[in-house]
A and B are shown apart, each in its own frame.
Chain A
Amino acid sequence: MSEQVRASTVEGTAGHPALCVLPEIEKEDELFEIIWTLREEGNLTFDQIVQSCTLKDCKNILKDLSKNGWININDQVVELLPKGEKRAQELVRRHRLSLRLFYDLFLLDGAEAEACKFEHILSPEVTDSVCTLLGHPPNSPDGKPIPRGACCALFRQEMKPLVAPLADLMPGEQAKIVFITPESHSRLDRLSAMGVVPGSVVKLHQKRPSYVLQLGETMIAVDRDITKEIFVKKI
């Protein structure tokens, strides 16, 4: 444990992600992201969008989007139309993947601002490569789901991912925990009390008959299911 641990901080990103301040063309993108996030939280109303939005001409852009067939506005009810749905999904996917990339791989604390710049320059192909590189992560660092892309559906392991589930490690290999996507809250609480948190270095001793992990001087035996939810970067 001599190694100073730089955890990919997850706390500190409560609520809505800090909004990106960007040129004219990308204002629409901002609104799509807001709509998507609000919908996830079950809070999607016209007023909420306006409230969450930092842009001055927010209402006008919304009206333009509605006119061009991206969204449907009916008093308070706002809906994404099919082509808007697709655009929003891609945007949010790029944004959250960029966040993952900066947090986990480059270990940047100010990932939000970097991700904001990055998400707009990612082409679909590069997005899928980043996704594969990171091991098709299901969540962004703030725990929000990353919309799945074509690459995740196929899950071709053509590019060896840098971040992979602990279950895929070979016995004897060491890795650093990057993120955990637990099925249940209590599972995560229990693991974290034993030191299994992002940033910890873990060594896999064996896979059968049960998985045996070592963290510092602690040896823990766990089920395979659990190791599928712990994502690690080999060191």
Chain B
Amino acid sequence: MHSHGSREGEQHRDSNLNKVLLIGNPNVGKSALFGLLTGKYVTVSNYPGTTVEVTYGNAMLNKTRSIVIDTPGVNSLVPMSEDEKVTRDILLTDKAGVVVQVADTKNLRRGLLITIQLAEMDIPFLLDLNMDDEAKSRGIFIDQNLLSRLLGIEVIKTVAIRKSGIDKLLKGIQHPRPSGIDVRYDDAIEGGIRDIVALLPEAYISRRALALMILAGDESLIGWLHANLQDQVISQIEKIRQGVQQKFNNSLGYLINHRRMKKADEILAQVMSRHETGRSSTIAFLLGKWSMHPVYGIPILLAVLYAVYQFVGVFGAGTVVNFLEKTIFGEYLNPWATKIVQFILPVRFLQELIIGEYGIVTMAFTYAIAIVLPIVGFFFFAFGILEDSGYLPRLAVMVNKVFKIMGLNGKAVLPMILGLGCDTMATLTTRILETKKERLLVTFLLALGVPCSAQLGVVLGMVSGISGLATSIWLGTMVCVLFLVGYLASKLLPGEPSDFVLELPPIRIPQLTNILIKTMARVQWYLKEAVPLFVLGTLILFTADKLGVLLLIQKMADPVVVGFLGLPSKAAEALVIGFLRRDYGAAGLFMLAKGGMLDPIQTVVSLVVVTLFVPCIANFFVMIKEQGIRAALYMVAFIFPFAFAVGGAINWLLRSMKVAL
């Protein structure tokens, strides 16, 4: 876990290309700027923690071939979470090139905290005051020339999403300078810095900055120290740190930050002027306020859920899927394909491979393009609106207390909601959580009971087709399972829950173009990721069918599938391909139900099982990457029998209580 996503970076490391590194607080528009400079799209959203990995992009800047590097946002260069560590490490382990610090103009105070740290590192950089438009509308004005003089570096104003100020930024990139500002700490801390600096090796950043990180108690630095120093020197350094810490009751990290903040305030007092505007009553501000109101917040939450359900579940998964599947594929594409294939491929075996029951066109493409793709597309569009409006962090505020039951805090709602889009992406974003315990818990819950959009769309389409009761039973089971398992797991796993401290971005009106681009990027990603697996799954089924293995598996699974779960024997097929992708499994059930092979109870039971079922292959690989193979295998070993147990229990309950769905 030492350098996430920097495999690509290794190649760039020693090349002579001009490097431009974007660094700054969370949610200040680094990714938007990255997109402008490189023309390469990375997800841009209105909440902190969208970028969790370093992204590289090529660009011609000032007629020089350059590499632009986008980093996860940081509040301090002493990292508090995994994503923040990524950013600090890139400064530490790589010659930085040109560093562009991106700051939110209206929030310059916090930006300056990072400016001061970059100055201490003694690396050449420039400061980009982004979102100047928002600052202006709030009556905040920054004297850019004076700030430039005070800091001794270039200061540029931009509005990245409107492409304004970019030419000036490009000019500025040619003249990065180390900043002359300098912060003096308490004598005891300065003494500690001197003693530690004497023991440190030469590095890409100044030894003074390194010493300050060490004094601030930066545990994530240990790996680097071990790679560069002997153990004996490290323990000597630790002794110095403890010696200094003993002189204060407050943590050194806090004292250092406090001193920097004071310096930032001194600078700010000189360069910032503001005049009152009547903004506190704007609609966006009020909406933001109501959406986390203890009373109004709940109907807003329900309304948002209902709107998403109508848009994705009813319109996307119902109307659009029906049209694509019945009309486009059923009436045109599949018959055409059948005719063409029968004409040019006279061999029956090959014909079946493409257009048979387990044919690549009739099964894989129909499932992927006609059923799953529209659902995913509609979900990501709706999710994009939620992301860019700034509603998601407010949702975290609403659910914070409820999430405490699972040993998590409201912040965990961000990966969980993203999991409703794609569990694989969501597992990556667990990095925004602070403790190992929380990351493990959320990864586990995602794998267990959070259905991804494709699956969710199919599931909702099926249960809502039966009755409201069926929908509630499925939903209730999932919610109960998540809370119960989360509660128990949080008791079993060691470690303390972390504090709930979450920054809330302003409510913004989403830009249609960004949402469309974002949805396209995600759909493209989905197609690249899912279609090959759908084809592979179909090939496996086809082969298994031809060899008679499929019947064998169905027979072997009969005691569980038919006996225990009360499902038709063919449902085993859907579960088998569910190994490859959960949505593929759900789509298989969808076809079964359409063919009239599942009664309402069977539908609910099979959907419960397939939702809880093992994560798809891609998700499993990301679990291994983030949590290690042992943890991933343990999770799957629990989930597999558990899914069947819950399905069996629901089956037994519904049948013995003679529930009419």
Contacts and interface: CB of A to CB of B under 8 A. Distances in A.
B40 interface: no
B401 A210 contact: yes
B80 interface: yes
Given A210-B410, A222-B501, A188 B110 contact: no
Nearest to B497: A223
Interface in B243-257: 246-251, 253-255, 257
A210 B297 CA distance: 12
Contact of A1 (B109, B262, B409, B503): B109
Interface stretch (A57-65, A160-168, A190-198): A190-198
Nearest to A191: B501
Given A2-B274, A185-B251, A208-B294, A197 B257 contact: yes
Given A189-B80, A209-B292, A209-B400, A222 B500 contact: yes
A205 B501 contact: no
A193 B80 contact: yes
B247 A194 contact: no
Nearest to B274: A2
A92 B468 CA distance: 69
B399 to A, nearest CB: 8
Contact of A15 (B80, B188, B251): B188
Given A14-B247, A144-B249, A188-B250, A212 B504 contact: yes
A210 B393 CA distance: 12
Contacts, number: 167
A226 interface: yes
A216 interface: yes
B107 A216 contact: yes
Interface stretch (B264-272, B369-377, B485-493): B264-272
Contact of A185 (B217, B293, B505): B217
B255 A11 contact: yes
Nearest to B255: A11
A192 B504 contact: no
Interface in B488-527: 499-506
Interface in A142-195: 142-145, 182, 185-195
Interface string A1-40: 1101101011110110000000000000000000000000
B76 interface: yes
A209 B186 contact: no
A143 B500 CA distance: 24
B194 interface: no
A137 interface: no
Given A190-B499, A205-B289, A223 B409 contact: yes
A222 B140 CA distance: 26
Contacts of B393: 221
Nearest to A183: B499
Contacts of B410: 210, 221
Q: Which 9 A-B pairs have the closest CB atoms?
A: A143-B249, A185-B251, A192-B257, A193-B76, A189-B253, A193-B75, A11-B186, A208-B294, A219-B504
Given A189-B216, A221-B400, A223-B501, 7 more contacts: A186-B251, A199-B261, A209-B400, A217-B106, A220-B501, A220-B502, A223-B500
14 contacts: A9-B262, A11-B258, A14-B186, A143-B248, A185-B217, A186-B251, A192-B261, A193-B76, A197-B261, A198-B258, A205-B289, A206-B294, A220-B504, A226-B499
